[in-house]
Structure 1
Amino acid sequence: MPERPLAKTLTADPDAARPVQYDRPETMLAVVVREGSGKTSLQPERMPVPTPGSDQVLVRVQATSVISSEIASREGVSTATLPLILGNDFVGTVVEAPGAPSMVGRLVVGAYGGYGYTRPGAWAEFIVVDQPDVFSVETELGVEALAAIPGSFTAASGALRSLGDLAGKRLLIRGGTSGVGLAAATLALDQGAHVISTTRDPSKVEKLLAHGVHDVVIDDDDFTAQVRRLFPLGVDLAVDLLGVDSLRETLRCVQEFGIVCITGLLRDQTKSIRSREREDRSIPLFPHPMDLIPPTVRLTVGGVDGTARTPDLMRQWVAGVQSGRYRIPVDSVFTLHQMEQAHRRRSDPAAFGKVIVTVGDDPRTTSSSSTSSTSTEVPQPELATEPGDSAHENQE
């Protein structure tokens, strides 16, 4: 499928020495989450186009995503301060860069930096981004495939980095069908690890095996025993994406002197949505570490803060997905006007892979089995689940 032309509204200045000029509109469409309990309509509304500062750039957004923490934000139980434009992942074209005019016209990707949490995110036609948070890429990938990469690979890379050398190690990924879990699996496989991923849904076992993992464990009441049957001495390393609620079980799956990295809160967020209790990390809600951590097992944290997140690293991930070295499935693609449907799909236990939202004209769809740059048009999935009704443990 041909890639959508980039920066259609950019026009070259007759004087080649001057930067490309952009005809800035006064307003843009954006989806603003104004209150919790899922009450906010997700229909785009008109608002002024933001203005970048001297160390910022204005990006014309072409694609973003919906992740589970944004479901929690819409429910009013995450750390996001509402009202706010959400949207962590972004792909787009730089259209204004007061302090770095050479960036204008470049295709960029990015995630984190507070976007969609403490400052306006990418569920909009334009986003203002600090210069260090945008990464210029040159690729044949479409924007839908690109939008699946930055957030998930950033968090996954940081988690794996905290575990050290992976070659020949048995790595357990708890929350294996989340976007970060899928990214962690493909990165770990590339580094020579024996990957064991988890899911609550038996129908996803074959999908995880097709993703390349070596073993799949159903995450049920017999979870620890299942892992120990596969590996009597325990696994070497583990990444826990579910949160404190699952941590005790994960720690008990690890052998002596093994390491567990906690880097996600998927199950904790689900409990917050159900209980209506807002996430508050200043309140300890878990057992004393002496009761939680088995002797000789080591616990660390990783994720976004643990990754180098350099331009070279981001380009390596993009090139790796394009070549097939890395895989990241795209479950479904929606438009900004279909944000309500995108939320419902993100909440659907049947979803596998990233839920992508394109911004602007020329909407396209991506096959639910897509794992690289290949995109094929498929009907949109049936959406029967309301937000918050299903568990988010298996979704980013």
Structure 2
Amino acid sequence: MSKTMRAAVCVRAGGPEVLEIRELPVPAVRDGWSLVRVRGAGLNRSELRTRQGHSPSVRFPRVLGIECVGTVEASGDVPEGTTVAAVMGEMGRAFDGGYAEYALLPSPLLMPITTTLAWETLAALPETYLTAQGALDTLGITPGGRLLIRGGTSSVGLAAASIAAGHGLDVTATTRNPAKHGALTAAGVHHVVPDGTPDYVLDLVGADTVVDSLRQVRPGGTVCVAGSLSGWLIPGFEPIANIPSGTKLTAFHSDTLKGSAGNAVLQRVVREVEAGVYRPNVDRVFRLEDIAEAHQYMEDDRAAGKLVVRFD
């Protein structure tokens, strides 16, 4: 009799109710792929948009989840029992992702990690901190500079604040919700509303705020778009008219740090979290059975930090 697992399956496009807990066969290992016992998975707004039907390439039913952490159950490439993280690489899109007790993943996607962190803490780090670190590297931040984070109470925003404060930057962040100010200051933010003219703007809101971010940054400064909380497209964007002379507009996509490319970065982040330098910024931990509730919580913008699913 084949072994089964619990998984949250998105059966069609729609609201949180389309996420159904089902018993599925545990995937069989094949060449170049590894079976991971999932111990935790971070939730991401891209999964919310996929669930809503805004990812045309995704076919339902599909087990969502663009990231997970766990241990290698079976593999011809990675030693069994190895603690690993996996991010992006079409997880939860072209093939089933992290919303399941087991995930069959391409072996090159796995990032072996040495850590003493609890699973729910480790699960909060991969996509969030790799995106934050990569975006700040893209901005070219230097100690003493001024950074403005738009969308500061998103999980990536809080991670970026934690990293930037640790590097000696003066950090300003925006939020529409006064109740979330405490989460920002705890993460290392010095100013919760724009204060002065920043050298760098990390824009996690995206489409609705990019043009204004270009006006906010100092002449010759840099704006990096690394989030899409307001959507994917900027209607009527005119580069020559909207980008001030000498100001730089760039972007960061976390898929560039998947697999071996992000392994050293993630291990460094894990060490900094273990040392108390960076904060994991976990807002709430859900059970797999509560995945619909978790998606509603995310859709309602109630979180100040990362949402995680824990597998016991």
Place the TM-score, normalised by the shorter chain, in its bin: over 0.9
Instruction: Tell me the alpha carbon deviations over residues 179-200 of structure 1, each in whole angstroms, 9 at most, x when there is no partner.
Output: 1111111111222211111111
TM value normalised by structure 2:
0.93
Cα distance in 1 between the residues matched to 2:84 and 2:164:
25
| Mapping of residues 242-261 of structure 1, within 5 Å | 242-261=205-224
Any conservation in 1 of the 2:12–2:18 contact (CA below 8 Å)? Answer: no
CA apart distance, 1:319: 1.3
Any conservation in 1 of the 2:159–2:281 contact (CA below 8 Å)? Answer: no
User: Is it true that 1:94 corresponds to 2:94 in the alignment?
Assistant: no
Report the CA distance shift for 1:145/1:177 in structure 2 as closer, same or farther (over 3 A).
same
CA apart distance, 1:306: 5.0
Cα distance in 2 between the residues matched to 1:126 and 1:305:
22
Q: Which amino acid aligns with 1:251?
A: L
User: Is it true that 1:262 corresponds to 2:225 in the alignment?
Assistant: yes
Any conservation in 1 of the 2:69–2:84 contact (CA below 8 Å)? Answer: yes
CA apart distance, 1:305: 4.4
Q: What's the Cα RMSD here?
A: 2.0
| Mapping of residues 104-115 of structure 1, within 5 Å | 104-115=80-91
What percentage of residue pairs aligned between the two structures are identical?
A: 37
| Mapping of residues 274-353 of structure 1, within 5 Å | 285-307=235-257, 309-353=261-305
| Mapping of residues 57-206 of structure 1, within 5 Å | 57-78=34-55, 81-83=58-60, 84-100=62-78, 103-206=79-182
| Stretch of structure 1 that moved more, 312-321 or 285-294 | 285-294
What residue number does 2:32 align with? Answer: 55
SS in 2 for 1:315: helix
Cα distance in 1 between the residues matched to 2:264 and 2:132:
16
Report the CA distance shift for 1:259/1:56 in structure 2 as closer, same or farther (over 3 A).
same
Report the CA distance shift for 1:160/1:25 in structure 2 as closer, same or farther (over 3 A).
farther
Instruction: Tell me the alpha carbon deviations over residues 88-124 of structure 1, each in whole angstroms, 9 at most, x when there is no partner.
Output: 2211110111234xx2011112211111233211001
Cα distance in 2 between the residues matched to 1:132 and 1:173:
32
Cα distance in 2 between the residues matched to 1:198 and 1:79:
31
What residue number does 1:7 align with? Answer: none
What residue number does 1:367 align with? Answer: none
Any conservation in 2 of the 1:157–1:303 contact (CA below 8 Å)? Answer: no
Report the CA distance shift for 1:328/1:293 in structure 2 as closer, same or farther (over 3 A).
same
Cα distance in 2 between the residues matched to 1:325 and 1:352:
19
Q: Which amino acid aligns with 1:59?
A: V
Q: Which amino acid aligns with 2:74?
A: E
SS in 1 for 2:66: coil
Q: Which amino acid aligns with 1:200?
A: R
Which structure has the larger Rg over C-alpha atoms? 1
Spell out structure 1 runs of 4+ moving beyond 6 A.
none
What residue number does 2:201 align with? Answer: 238
CA apart distance, 1:80: 5.5
TM value normalised by structure 1:
0.74
CA apart distance, 1:39: 6.7
Cα distance in 1 between the residues matched to 2:86 and 2:48:
20
The partner residue of 1:356 within 305, 308, 312 is 308
Cα distance in 2 between the residues matched to 1:70 and 1:149:
17
CA apart distance, 1:40: 4.8
Any conservation in 2 of the 1:111–1:133 contact (CA below 8 Å)? Answer: yes
| Stretch of structure 1 that moved more, 57-66 or 303-312 | 303-312
Report the CA distance shift for 1:155/1:39 in structure 2 as closer, same or farther (over 3 A).
closer
Cα distance in 2 between the residues matched to 1:257 and 1:173:
18
CA apart distance, 1:349: 3.2
The partner residue of 2:14 within 37, 60, 67 is 37
Any conservation in 1 of the 2:16–2:293 contact (CA below 8 Å)? Answer: no
Instruction: Tell me the alpha carbon deviations over residues 211-239 of structure 1, each in whole angstroms, 9 at most, x when there is no partner.
Output: 1111112xxxxxxxxx3xx21xx210111
Q: Which amino acid aligns with 1:298?
A: K
Any conservation in 1 of the 2:16–2:292 contact (CA below 8 Å)? Answer: no
Q: Which amino acid aligns with 1:176?
A: G
Report the CA distance shift for 1:200/1:356 in structure 2 as closer, same or farther (over 3 A).
same
CA apart distance, 1:134: 1.4
Cα distance in 1 between the residues matched to 2:71 and 2:256:
27
Instruction: Tell me the alpha carbon deviations over residues 22-63 of structure 1, each in whole angstroms, 9 at most, x when there is no partner.
Output: xx9532211111221227532311222222332221101111
Q: Which amino acid aligns with 2:290?
A: Q
Cα distance in 2 between the residues matched to 1:139 and 1:32:
30
Q: Which amino acid aligns with 1:328?
A: P
